[in-house]
């Protein structure tokens, strides 16, 4: 391993650069040409993550130590061919979301130096946004891997907890900590994620997680909180409205979700005995060096002393209650959309009111790790005042690659450049090596149409609407008596002796098709339906024996028109 000491330059660039980039011995002399997945990429590391022979300070000089080995995640990246060029400033002990809680100075926003960069991974985001490195590592306990991304027009991946090892990372709240990844494109961030992830038996919070899911579907349902607070920032509110419209144009259907239980879970991070974990993580140092910790970090850490073990048990039980309460949300949506940060503050504003304004920046981030979700923040727009605005896609644990796929589609639809560099985005690249899962197309004609009572039988099996069309003019449609909910029956007749009936064609994963067919009651069934363009799909058919007392409604042209006429 080639090591180096950091330079002594005072760095307004918010990255302490090394005299020579650090590589492993195996690739130090030939990084650009070796067939390694990250060959030629340069990265920076948040200064609460260990790099061998380089001091780790966590933005607290009295805490500084020099590790003998790399953090697990750093070692994996070096072995993949990447090189470390420096370490970055942060909110002290990763305790903050704004980037101004450091004795080394407040990190400015990459677009307007009067504004905060977001934290605690402030320097890591700044180094990526300004083009100094290809990617960087941060950490995320309450939003530190997302807020700086949203405020600097870059991508921030907050992995599922335990997907990346935290061995060699200064703990903040170990049960909620994640190593995060910043990059200017989703593709680069995912490439790093794929290298960095992996089970580590030496990390008590590491997990073996399966993230090998299929790409995000072309049609999907996205949740939006029923109550949104932008703290008086009209520009941010307008930017989020535009984001919702863009996601609809990309195939999304907006679903309103109750935000109250998520907000209640978020409040537990600092306003309950859960904050005791932050104190416990650094107890020995905090007790011995109280005066060496800056405010308001000191107040947060020492505030954990006042809670009892019983208080902590109560808080953990309350969190589990809220987790159970919100779990059904995922039955109705495929992804949750929130503003990465609801507003943007100047450094002066933040320093004048550091607790309340910091809390505002985390309005839509704090619950994510507590509830064991994955998230990715992607750029959304540049506001009229020239400041970036980002959105975050949140999914269940293990959905990391799936929501990244949607994030890449969204990012490329914005037309934005990369970070603060002014350079355009490169073409999107496939994020999945495996082919998309096999699907089957099914034509529905009645109660399974969009908005009809049985449509959920399709959507809960991840079917997506691909077309509204008509059959060939060889079918007749009947209203079947005594069915609940009301259903039609469609039968084939001699060529050109029927009508062209309106149908919807839905695409469903083959793995779910059998359970769908098994739910269809007599006299209905599945057969082959010919569409107006001559193509054939699977579709609903009806046993002719059931039509004796049925009303012929073919002249309506479809089930919706018949229902409307009733």
Residue of 17, 46, 158, 487 with catalytic role? 46
Confidence (pLDDT) at 316:
97
Confidence (pLDDT) at 24:
80
What pTM does this model have? 0.77
| Mean pLDDT in consecutive groups of 10 residues from the start of the chain, 566 residues | 35 74 66 72 98 96 97 96 96 96 95 97 97 97 97 98 97 97 98 95 94 86 97 98 94 96 95 95 96 96 95 97 97 97 98 96 97 98 97 97 96 94 92 74 95 92 85 96 95 92 92 93 94 92 92 96 92
Whole-number CA gyration radius for the chain: 27
Active site residue 120: yes
Residue of 102, 117, 124, 144 with catalytic role? 144
Instruction: From 547, 528, 525, 375, select the one nearest 477 (Cα to Cα).
Output: 547
Please state, as a whole number, how many other Cβ atoms lie within 10 Å of the Cβ of residue 58.
26
Confidence (pLDDT) at 436:
58
Residue of 110, 117, 120, 122 with catalytic role? 120
Confidence (pLDDT) at 13:
57
The domains found in the chain, sorted by start residue, are 15-202+213-414 (3.90.1300.10), 439-565 (3.10.490.10)
Q: How far is CA 239 from CA 61, 230, 393, 512, in A?
A: 40, 11, 15, 38
Confidence (pLDDT) at 25:
61
Instruction: From 425, 548, 532, 551, select the one nearest 488 (Cα to Cα).
Output: 551
Instruction: From 358, 376, 279, 369, select the one nearest 319 (Cα to Cα).
Output: 369
Confidence (pLDDT) at 465:
82
Q: How far is CA 368 from CA 143, 197, 268, 519, in A?
A: 8, 19, 12, 36
Task: Give the 3-state DSSP-derived string for 11-65, with helices as H, strands as E and coil as C.
Answer: CCCCEEEEEEEECCCCCCCCCCCCCCCCCCCEEEEECCECECCECECCCCHHHCE
Active site residue 46: yes
């Amino acid at each position: 391993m080639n090591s180096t000491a950091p330079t002594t330059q005072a760095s307004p660039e918010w990255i302490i650069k090394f005299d020579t980039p650090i590589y492993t011995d195996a690739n130090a002399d030939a990084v650009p040409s070796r067939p390694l997945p990250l060959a030629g990429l340069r990265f920076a590391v948040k200064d609460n993550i260990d790099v061998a022979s380089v001091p780790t300070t966590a933005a607290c000089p009295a805490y500084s130590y020099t590790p003998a080995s790399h953090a697990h995640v750093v070692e994996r990246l070096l072995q993949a061919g990447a090189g470390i060029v420096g370490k970055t400033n942060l909110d002290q002990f990763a305790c903050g979301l704004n980037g101004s809680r450091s004795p080394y100075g407040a990190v400015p926003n990459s677009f307007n130096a009067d504004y905060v960069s977001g934290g605690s991974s402030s320097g890591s985001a700044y180094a990526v946004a300004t083009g100094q490195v290809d990617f960087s590592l941060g950490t995320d306990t309450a939003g530190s891997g997302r807020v700086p991304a949203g405020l600097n027009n870059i991508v921030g991946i907050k992995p599922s907890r335990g997907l990346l090892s935290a061995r060699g990372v200064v703990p903040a709240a170990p049960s909620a900590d994640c190593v995060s990844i910043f990059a200017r494109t989703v593709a680069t961030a995912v490439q790093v994620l794929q290298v960095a992830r992996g089970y580590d038996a030496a990390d008590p919070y590491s997990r073996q997680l399966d993230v090998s899911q299929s790409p995000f579907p072309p049609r999907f349902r996205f949740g939006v909180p029923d109550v949104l607070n932008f703290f008086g920032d009209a520009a941010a509110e307008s930017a989020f409205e535009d984001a919702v419209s863009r996601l609809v144009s990309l195939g999304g259907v907006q679903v309103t979700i109750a935000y109250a239980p998520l907000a209640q879970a978020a409040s537990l991070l600092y306003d309950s005995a859960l904050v005791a974990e932050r104190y416990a993580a650094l107890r020995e140092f905090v007790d011995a060096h109280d005066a060496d910790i800056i405010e308001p970090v000191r107040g947060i850490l020492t505030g954990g002393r006042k809670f009892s073990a019983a208080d902590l048990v109560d808080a953990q039980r309350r969190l589990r209650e809220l987790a159970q309460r919100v779990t059904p949300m995922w039955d109705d949506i495929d992804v949750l959309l929130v503003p990465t940060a609801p507003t943007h503050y100047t450094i002066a504003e933040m320093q004048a009111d550091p607790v309340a304004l910091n809390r505002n920046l985390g309005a839509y981030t704090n619950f994510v790790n507590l509830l064991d979700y994955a998230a990715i923040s992607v750029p959304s727009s540049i506001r009229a005042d020239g400041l970036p605005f980002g959105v975050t896609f949140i999914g269940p644990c293990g959905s990391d690659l799936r929501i990244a796929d949607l994030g890449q589609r969204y990012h490329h639809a914005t037309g934005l450049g990369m970070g603060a560099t002014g350079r355009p985005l490169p073409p999107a690249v496939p994020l999945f090596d495996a082919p998309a899962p096999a699907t089957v197309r099914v034509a529905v004609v009645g109660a399974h149409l969009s908005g009809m009572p049985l449509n959920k039988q399709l959507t809960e099996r991840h079917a997506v609407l691909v077309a509204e069309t008509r059959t060939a003019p060889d079918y007749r449609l009947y209203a079947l008596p005594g069915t609940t909910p009301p259903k039609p029956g469609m039968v084939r007749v001699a060529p050109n002796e029927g009508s062209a009936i309106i149908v919807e064609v839905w695409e469903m994963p083959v793995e779910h098709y059998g359970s769908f067919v098994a739910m269809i009651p007599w006299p209905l069934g599945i057969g082959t339906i010919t569409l107006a363009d001559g193509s054939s799909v699977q579709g609903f058919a009806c046993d002719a024996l059931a039509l004796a007392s049925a009303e012929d409604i073919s002249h309506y042209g479809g089930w919706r028109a018949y229902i409307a006429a009733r």
